[in-house]
Amino acid sequence: MTQRPLTEHLRDDGQQLSIEEYERAGGYQALRKALTQMTPSEVIEEVKASNLRGRGGAGFPTGMKWGACPPGSDMAKPRYAISNSDEMEPGTFKDRLLMQQNPHQLLEGLILCGYAIDAQIGYLFLRWAYTASAKSLMQAVREAYEKGYLGENILGSTFSMDVKMHTSAGRYICGEETALLNALEGVRPIPRSRPPFPAQCGLWGRPTVVNNAETLSNVPHIVRHGAAWYKSLSPSSDGGTKMYGVSGRVKKAGLWELPMGTTIRELLDGRAGGMRDGYTLRGIIPGGASTDFLTGAHLDVKMDFDSMQKAGSRLGTGTMIILDDKTCPVGLVLNLERFFARESCGWCTPCREGLPWIVKILESIEKGEGELGDLDILEWQCQALGPGKTYCVHAPGAVEPLQSALKYFREDFEQHIEEKQCPWKAK
Ligand SMILES: Cc1cc2nc3c(=O)[nH]c(=O)nc-3n(C[C@H](O)[C@H](O)[C@H](O)COP(=O)(O)O)c2cc1C
Ligand code: SF4
């Protein structure tokens, strides 16, 4: 039977697991094991061996990130471990389920990260609108202090750690890990240049690790059962499980924990029940709004980091948006680009000026006022805002749905221009 370590103990009524329920399910045993039987570097080695890759979008190896913190107790202190739960990517709705329904799992992962990198303070950085998650996590933090899993000399060890919560200002850029550090410091949340990386010089100049909430939720299971067990959960070289989501005009939109590398077909047809009656599949944005479209020809592609890249997209957050045949692809991309343009932090010119320009062109095409040369300008803009051209990866991510829409749905753009109207609105 498929194992679902992140979600198998969730309550049927959707309420959060109490600390007692979490403990009965094996909760906090990993922390006990780490504090009594493992050195911090052994925890890092186990996470490295598990091949856990970050679930926040970029897929960076978690153990490697932790290992980049300078070892040794004489190094800069305090250090910080941060859970990134800003989750403002359109189409992405996975971290909130883990936070609302199994908050101790995330907290245990954060404490284990703190132990591994010798952090004295942990932050839960949450999207401002996630009030239910904030409530559930705050209750978990209180319970963890009462039981001695947080605070001075955790479980009688020499390791001490406090955890605080911060709800963000409601800007998408606050989820970018270095902008997040600025937000926590109370200054304008623009990304920082790298190097130095946060592991060396992060919050208030101290070594800091920022990990996605789903990433951290995996850690207690890896420490408790070992890297080999974790890798065995999936046939994919990435190992482990993944919270996958499907939204759009499917029969049962939702979120499921499945082995890493589950195919798009299994998610779309097997879990989401296929397209709603009367609708046909046209496109798939596989990993949240900032990833490239795939199409019906990619149904058998595995949703893991390497397979998605080979197919010309990214796993991103693993939460796919479905485009159907009754939705205008130009209108859909315009909607996404409006979001990305509004959420640009404005720090670098190509992104600040380029994204609104893209929006203007798409608006004119959608209104039937576009010209064929506009498509060349859009393509050029996708190049100009691509990887390495801007200060952070907001802009390259923002143009991914556009560049792939121009590749797969070019005839729809051309039809708007030739017919001087949106064909969907004319129907
Ligand atoms: C504009 C922007 C927004 C982001 N928002 C989030 C977010 O809400 N949550 C998240 O975990 N990562 C987000 N990221 C990615 C983070 O910068 C970072 O890669 C991630 O938190 C690292 O954690 P991981 O290694 O566990 O994936 C965002 C990146 C960008 C460029
Ligand atoms: S790419 Fe956009 S969001 Fe990132 S630093 Fe530049 S202006 Fe800000």
Q: 372 pLDDT band (50/70/90 cuts)?
A: confident
Distance CA 386, CA 402 (A): 12
How confident is the model at residue 74, as a pLDDT?
Answer: 58
How confident is the model at residue 287, as a pLDDT?
Answer: 96
Among 38, 42, 52, which Cα is nearest to 234's?
52
- β-partners of residue 302 are 263
CA count, 13 A, side-chain hemisphere, 77? 13
Q: Please determine, for residue 98, whether its predicted confidence score (pLDDT) is greater than 90.
A: yes
Ligand nearest to the CA of 350: 2
pLDDT digits 0-9 by tens, 342-366: 999 999 999 999 999 999 999 999 9
Quick one: what percent of the chain has pLDDT higher than 90?
A: 94
Average pLDDT, integer, range 125-144: 96
How confident is the model at residue 2, as a pLDDT?
Answer: 75
How confident is the model at residue 73, as a pLDDT?
Answer: 60
CA distances from 120 to 47, 57, 207, 220, 346 (A): 20, 27, 11, 19, 34
**Residue of 347, 349, 357, 385 to test ligand 2 pocket, by largest number of atoms within 8 Å of CB:** 347
Q: Please determine, for residue 1, whether its predicted confidence score (pLDDT) is greater than 60.
A: no
**Residue of 50, 52, 84 to test ligand 1 pocket, by largest number of atoms within 8 Å of CB:** 84
How confident is the model at residue 383, as a pLDDT?
Answer: 96
How confident is the model at residue 301, as a pLDDT?
Answer: 97
| End-to-end CA gap in the chain | 48
How confident is the model at residue 76, as a pLDDT?
Answer: 67
Average pLDDT, integer, range 108-129: 97
pLDDT digits 0-9 by tens, 165-195: 999 989 999 999 999 999 999 999 999 998 9
Q: 239 pLDDT band (50/70/90 cuts)?
A: confident
Distance CA 402, CA 290 (A): 9
How confident is the model at residue 36, as a pLDDT?
Answer: 97
Cβ atoms within 10 A of the Cβ of 295, count? 16
Distance CA 124, CA 41 (A): 23
Among 411, 406, 347, which Cα is nearest to 381's?
406
pLDDT digits 0-9 by tens, 60-76: 999 999 999 987 665 66
How confident is the model at residue 77, as a pLDDT?
Answer: 78
pLDDT digits 0-9 by tens, 400-425: 999 999 999 999 999 999 999 999 88
105 lines ligand 1 (CB under 6 A): no
Minimum CA distance residue for ligand 2 atom 8 = 345
Average pLDDT, whole number, for the chain?
A: 96
Q: What SS3 string covers 325-345?
A: CCCCHHHHHHHHHHHHHHHCC
Average pLDDT, integer, range 366-386: 95
Average pLDDT, integer, range 288-307: 97
Ligand 2 is surrounded, with C-beta below 6 A, by 173, 190-191, 344-348, 351-352, 390-392, 394-395
Among 327, 329, 335, 297, which Cα is nearest to 313's?
297
pTM of the model: 0.97
**Residue of 171, 172, 180, 344 to test ligand 2 pocket, by largest number of atoms within 8 Å of CB:** 344
How confident is the model at residue 237, as a pLDDT?
Answer: 87
